[in-house]
Amino acid sequence: MVARAMLLALVLVVLCSPLWAWRTVGDEAALKQQYQAFVDKAMAEAEKGLAAQPAEVAQARYVLLAVADLCVPAGGYDSKVPEATVTAYKAAVAKAWASDVPDDAAFTAMLKANEEKLNQAYIRAFYIADNADTYTVKTVAEEFAKAGSKHPAALALCLEIAGKSIPPAACMKYTFEGDAGSIARAAQQLMANVFGGPATIQAMCKETFVPNAQDQGKQELARAAATNDPDELKMYAKFAQEYVDFIAWADPDNAGGKELAAQTQAVRDKAKKIYEAQLAANRVPPHRYAGGDADALREQMKKAFMFEQPHSIVRVVITSPQWEEKPHVWTGYNAVDVGWYKLIDGAIVIKLTGDNTCWVHPVTFGRRWLGHGDDYGDLVVYGWADRYQILPQWVNK
């Protein structure tokens, strides 16, 4: 979780900004070219819409709003494209908003009416970094995929809102000062993201997240190198696989990602080999109970044993030589439980109905003193230890 929190800090700003903000990673010359290319594409789309007016005015407004953060100074920031481009942008805006310009009140009412639709269209892909407990690059990839699947509905919403929007300069000012400024920001960012499209999403992930995903995956593999516990190895391989899957999605030809995938598979292979060796050596613990009621006690253990998956009990052994008496004290929220128990250990060997694998469940059973004489209650499960698998040929040996 610490590793994921580190990655979180690197991507939080990017995810909470329009998707083209990934271009802030790189040298200034490259940024200028990318900003310019993005605006040029929008201007070309706007001109097509304006040439077909009035039917496509909403389309023109949508693409002009999509690049508003690049062309309109707002919040103390300068525009990110040359002045000549800004001049051309202003001319296109004047044409797109030559008529049917709502006032702030109508704009506010429209935004509020579309707030829930925006929440649905904008989806968690752009907020998921807010939660360090659930954030992984895998969930980012999944959410971006969902964003792609919602693209048609999101585009329709962008066109609807853009058609009823105030002009970009007023809109950018409104995002800081308006009664529904946060909704206006979400709308403008959604337009930038939708206009950028899946290619922009993948490019952002490739250039911004993939290097970090490689580093985080290597850290998981380093943790795996420090253990020979098969369960821990499988856990670290699972974590590393999240990064492998993400890199394969964002940058399928990435050599580092392919190497990480091979190393992750090697960890899984190591875990399997160790587990198979342990499985071959696993045995049912010996029966040690010296009491004459062993058969009756085994039946009571069967009755008390609880396991959710469909199974059959194939063997019961009593691993304690005798009962042990022990005081019991438990404290919880607004409650205290004090008692006296007779305890005895056993091992329940089960066969799962689904795959016929056999498992040994070490269980401590107990009888609670009823508070008078030598009277104790029915046998119950008092405590569990970790189960382990056993090969079928060793169940009765």
CB 281 within 8 A of CB 275: no
Specify which residues 328 forms β-bridges with.
Answer: 339
Specify which residues 337 forms β-bridges with.
Answer: 330
- Domain around 335: 294-394
Last residue of a domain, one of 213, 245, 261: 213
Last residue of a domain, one of 213, 232, 252: 213
> Could you give the number of structural domains in the chain?
2
In a domain, 238, yes or no: no
Q: Residue 50 CA to chain centroid, in angstroms?
A: 42
List helix spans (H) across the chain: 2-15, 28-51, 57-66, 68-71, 83-96, 104-113, 115-122, 137-149, 151-163, 168-177, 181-204, 210-225, 230-250, 255-281, 294-304
The first and second tokens of residue 131, run together, are 């939660």
The first and second tokens of residue 284, run together, are 């049912």
Taking only the tens of pLDDT, the chain with its 397 residues reads: 333 333 333 333 333 333 434 334 445 676 677 778 888 989 998 998 888 866 689 999 999 999 998 898 765 567 788 889 999 999 999 999 998 899 999 999 999 999 998 887 755 544 554 455 665 666 666 666 666 677 788 889 999 999 999 999 999 999 888 999 999 988 988 888 788 776 666 666 677 678 888 998 999 999 999 999 999 999 999 999 988 988 887 788 999 999 999 999 999 999 999 999 999 999 999 999 988 999 999 999 999 998 888 999 999 999 999 999 999 888 877 788 888 999 999 999 999 998 999 999 999 999 999 988 889 999 999 999 999 999 999 999 8
| Pairing verdict, β 358-368 and 388-390 | antiparallel
Cα(155)–Cα(172) distance, integer angstroms: 20
In a domain, 225, yes or no: no
- The pTM (predicted TM-score) of the whole model is 0.56
Residues 174, 54, single domain; the answer is yes
Count CA atoms within 13 Å of residue 88 on its CB side: 15
Residues 303, 182, single domain; the answer is no
Q: Residue 23 CA to chain centroid, in angstroms?
A: 24
DSSP conformational letter for 369: B
Which sign does the torsion angle of CA 111, 113, 119, 121 carry? negative
Last residue of a domain, one of 213, 236, 264: 213
